Amino acid sequence: MKLVLIGAPAAGKGTQAARLVEHYGIAHISTGDMLREEVAKGTELGLQAKEIMAAGGLVSDELIIAIVKERIQKDDCKNGFILDGFPRTVVQAEKLDEMVSLDKVVYINAPDAVMLERLTARQICPNCGASYNKIFLPPKKAGICDQCGTALTQRKDDTEEAGLKRLRTFHEQSEPLVDFYTKKGILFEVDGTAAIDAITQEIIKGLDA
């Protein structure tokens, strides 16, 4: 199964992707995670992406397309994959079309105010990548990862200022993808304000239909 998850920042793409990869036994490809790894390692690519990401902009189509092209050829993608955070522009979607035939695209939709509230309360584990939310999905012990005991941190782009910019970027550059994939007849929408479990069930129902 080859899937794409579309949604504004903090719509729950990463959370749902983690559940879907377990359910379907397919690979999780998060371009945001891949870029953050490059930033942490201080590679040339990371240096190029760092400022753009912190400011809530998009790295170049060319760069991200090259990364994804290489990634989907890896062994763990043989059974399929979920793309989380790619494509984010119509140019990226057109290039992806040339690379693979997608089965479905899931659009997790929620109002900006909800996204902004969620993203400023988000905490991530710098060690294992687990994601929490001080309001909606708190760790058992405040500020500590349930899975590996590491102190949680906030993403540099999860501030209100960068969050607003990311929401604007989403509406301008990524929202046209909803139309793009609707015309192809492979998109379905779920309500991103529902409970996490309910959204997972809704997505699985849509995918298995």
* Nearest distance, CB of residue 14 and ligand AMP, angstroms: 7
Per rule CB under 6 A, is residue 88 in the interface with ligand AMP? Answer: yes
Per rule CB under 6 A, is residue 85 in the interface with ligand AMP? Answer: yes
CA distance 109 to 186: 16
- Which residue of 5, 6, 53, 130 would you call a contact of ligand AMP, by CB under 6 A? 53
Per rule CB under 6 A, is residue 72 in the interface with ligand AMP? Answer: no
Element (H, E) at 109: strand 104-109
Per rule CB under 6 A, is residue 12 in the interface with ligand AMP? Answer: no
Catalytic residue set: 13, 88, 122, 155, 166
Contact between residue 30 and residue 85 where contact means Cβ atoms under 8 Å apart: yes
* Nearest distance, CB of residue 85 and ligand AMP, angstroms: 3
* Nearest distance, CB of residue 208 and ligand AMP, angstroms: 26
**Total residues interacting with ligand AMP, rule: CB under 6 A:** 18
- Which residues, listed in sequence order, are joined to residue 160 by a DSSP beta bridge? none
CA distance 145 to 123: 9
Among the residues of the chain, which ranges form H helices?
Answer: 13-24, 31-41, 44-54, 61-71, 90-99, 112-120, 160-169, 176-183, 196-208
- Which residues, listed in sequence order, are joined to residue 137 by a DSSP beta bridge? 133
Per rule CB under 6 A, is residue 31 in the interface with ligand AMP? Answer: yes
Residue 146 CA, chain-centre distance (Å), reads: 21
Per rule CB under 6 A, is residue 35 in the interface with ligand AMP? Answer: yes
Token pair 């969620």 is found at 118
* Nearest distance, CB of residue 113 and ligand AMP, angstroms: 18
Per rule CB under 6 A, is residue 163 in the interface with ligand AMP? Answer: no
- Interface with ligand AMP (CB under 6 A): 9, 31-32, 35, 52-53, 56-59, 64, 85-88, 92, 157, 166
